[in-house]
Structure 1
Amino acid sequence: MCILTACTAGFLLDQLLGDPAWIYHPIRMIGYLISWLEKKLYREGGSARTLRRRGTMLWVLTVGISTTVPCLLLFVASRIHPVCTWMLETFWCWQLLAARSLKAESLKVQEALTYGTLDDGRRAVSMIVGRDTGHLTEEGVVKAAVETVAENTSDGVIAPLFYLMIGGAGLGFFYKAVNTMDSMIGYRNDRYLDFGRTAARMDDLCNLIPARISAILMMGAAGILGMSDRAHYSLQNAWRIYRRDRHNHKSPNAAQTEAVCAGALMVRLAGNAWYFGKLYEKPSIGDAIRSVEREDIQRACHLLMGTSWLGLLFFGLARLLFLW
């Protein structure tokens, strides 16, 4: 019961306040740890086997430290008083969820395009995507923001909530360490193809179930939103595109929510993109039933928030029924 109430309280704090910027953020600390370990373990010119072994060592150390430290602190808190444990669990659940901050950062892109210039939009979207943004058209900027909201609905909200509800903050930190490693070293380029292979594959494994739950929940959100705005949300099309395009990505998970979002909004997403100065050919997701427009960023955020609340309801009921 402690985990359920702590997760619920943390979720509500995230919805109301977003990330607590007045104190350290654990994801940033995990990022510093990954960067430090990478400097110690990565060696230019090493064989593929050696790089894979060193990358696996980085993964084990990062996950081990990132999970053990909060578990030890929770143990210490439990020796003081159960309320201390609950408060720490709640605080960390608040920090590990990112619905409000994801919404806020993506809406900055829409605001930049509306009240600023295309370059302002490019700069704003560069803060939330990993691709090169200097060459993007306005449509490309909007699509990049919408895709990020769609994918991070799973990575930033539903997946961490899934692990938090199962094992509390300790398991939540485990997931965020895995996910942060993938975002930092899980690339298919010359430097990380071998060194980041373990990070990429373990992230795929850990997101296998949450990504699909996220897609289902997002379809539910599309259905609810479509009751009042059929012109911009379609559950029927979301289901059609999901079945057709959910595998249109090298990652087995990334296109799950992107396909639902593209279908629900009735637009075409994805396609070729530049990373580190190199063009990568990628299939598109969805059909261009209508043109992409700035307001689609806000509509994607509505899907994000609807999916988040449905996720809390679904996981909360599941914990009450099976784990309480």
Structure 2
Amino acid sequence: MSLIIIWFAFMLDWLIGDPPNWPHPIRWIGNSISWMEKWLRSLGEKPQWLYIAGGILWLVVVGGSYAVTQGLLFSLFHWHWLLGSAVELWLALTVLAGKCLKDCALDVMKPLKQGDLGQSRIMLSYIVGRDTSQLEAPQITRATVETVAENSVDGVFAPLMYLFIGGVPLAMAYKAVNTLDSMVGYKNNRYRELGFVSAKMDDLFNLIPARLGWLLLTFAAWALNFNWRNALHIGWRDRYQHKSPNSAWSEATVAGALGIRLGGPNRYFGEMVDKPWIGDHHRDIEPQDIVHTNKMMFVASCAALVIFTLCSWIIH
């Protein structure tokens, strides 16, 4: 895959993001997951079968995403290189979500700063799984900072890395892995068996990107004159203060850089979940921390782009 296309896709992502009226392959992947889940469940609901069905679901969706993308690009490039390049650029753009993540966070922050907790809770409910109906301003802010920090890995760092490793087909396969986890990778009664493979494979695919995120966000803290030493320290100390083996790396790094505390008890689907705290409480969290986290994500993303490009030149 051309480095020029990756750079253009990266710049376009931060300039225009994902216009809501444009077709988006991730939505198609989501629709295919929903259809396959219904079909597989129609064949049986026994736990033993659901474990197997979850493996079939993962193989078909991830393998299919890779194969369809590869086949489409091969056909288009065979027809005309310009058409192939245009579609490759568009697909590369759709796997990156930096501006979308930033804009969603700001949509929560704007009514929050105006004192409109109701609207802020509504906007937050679009991007988190927890119950937002009773959250106060500090809790809303904390949830938003956590979302940006955690999703900077699977929304930017990881797809960018897979673009460099295997081009658009591998990056699209990664987004299928990520979408499967977000739709079926839950440890509840409905998805414990069916989502087992999807959850474990998402952990595997994000293993390296999450740890890179720790270093990239620490660099961003240094570049933005935040507390980078504390970011490095807390990022390592609290890296496993989360049920996911990957999520706390970036959250802890941001918490350390800003001197705030993230995590803690939250309500999910009507039940209180006692999650551990991440970071140290040097000061109270405030809405401006959402802006700080967005800036850290952007600087870290730019650093990732440059580092991956240099690695690509050295390898080739």
Query: TM-score interval w.r.t. the shorter chain?
Result: over 0.9
1: distance between equivalents of 2:122 and 2:314?
Answer: 46
Decide whether the 8 Å contact of 1:89 with 1:168 is kept in 2: no
Cα distance in 1, alignment partners of residues 222 and 25 from structure 2: 35
Aligned mates of 1:113, 1:45 — CA distance in 2: 46
Q: Distance in 2 between matches of 1:44 and 1:249?
A: 35
Match of 2:239 among 238, 246, 252: 246
CA distance in 1, matches of 2:16, 2:249: 28
2:282 matches 1:282? no
Q: Secondary structure at the match of 1:192?
A: coil
The count of aligned residue pairs is 316
Shift of 1:135: 2.1
Answer yes or no: is 1:259 the counterpart of 2:224: no
Q: Normalised by the size of structure 1, how large is the TM-score? A: 0.94
Aligned residue runs from structure 1 range 223-242, under 5 A: 223-226=222-225, 233-242=226-235
Which residue identity is paired with 1:308? S
Tell me if structure 2 keeps the 8 A contact 1:218–1:261. yes
- Give the equivalent residue in structure 2 for 1:230: none
- Please give the alpha-carbon distance, in whole angstroms, between the structure 1 residues aligned to 2:276 and 2:236: 15
Distance 1:284 1:41 in 2: 38
CA contact (8 A) 1:78 1:85 kept: yes
Which amino acid in the other structure matches residue 184 of structure 2? Answer: I
Structure 1, unmatched stretches of 5+, are 227-232
Single out whichever of 50-59 and 20-29 deviates more from structure 2: 20-29
Alignment of 1:295-306 (within 5 A): 295-306=288-299
CA distance in 2, matches of 1:23, 1:243: 40
Q: More displaced, 268-277 or 97-106? A: 268-277
1:69 equivalent to 2:57? Answer no
Q: How far apart, CA to CA, are the structure 1 residues paired with 2:266 and 2:57?
A: 29
2:91 is aligned with 1:81: no
CA displacement 1:76-123 (0-9 Å, x = unmatched): 012123333222221111111010111011011110112252111111
Aligned equivalents of 2:134, 2:117: Cα separation in 1? 10
Which range moved further: 175-184 or 132-141? 132-141
Shift of 1:262: 0.6
Amino acid at match of 2:245: P
- What does residue 273 of structure 1 align with? 266
2:55 matched to which residue of 1? Answer: 56
- Report the identity percentage: 44
Q: Which residue of 2 aligns with 1:170?
A: 169
Task: Please identify, of 48-57 and 178-187, the stretch whose mean Cα deviation from structure 2 is larger.
Answer: 48-57
Give TM-score scaled by structure 2 length.
Answer: 0.97
Query: Retained in 2: the 8 A contact 1:20–1:95?
Result: no
The yes-or-no answer on 1:308 pairing with 2:307 is no
Name the structure 2 match of 1:161: 160
Aligned counterparts of 2:313 and 2:91: Cα–Cα separation in 1 = 21
What's the CA shift for 1:65?
1.9
CA contact 1:3–1:89 (8 Å) conserved in 2: no
More deviation in 17-26 or 68-77? 17-26
2: CA distance, partners of 1:35 / 1:112: 33
Question: For residue 229 of structure 1, what is the aligned residue in structure 2?
Answer: none
Q: Once the 2 structures are TM-superposed, how far is the Cα of residue 254 of structure 1 from its aligned partner?
A: 0.5
CA drift at 1:17? 1.0
Asked if the contact 1:27–1:176 (Cα under 8 Å) also holds between the matched residues in 2, the reply is: yes
Q: What SS does the aligned partner of 2:267 have?
A: strand
**What is the root-mean-square deviation in Å for CA atoms of aligned residues?**
1.4
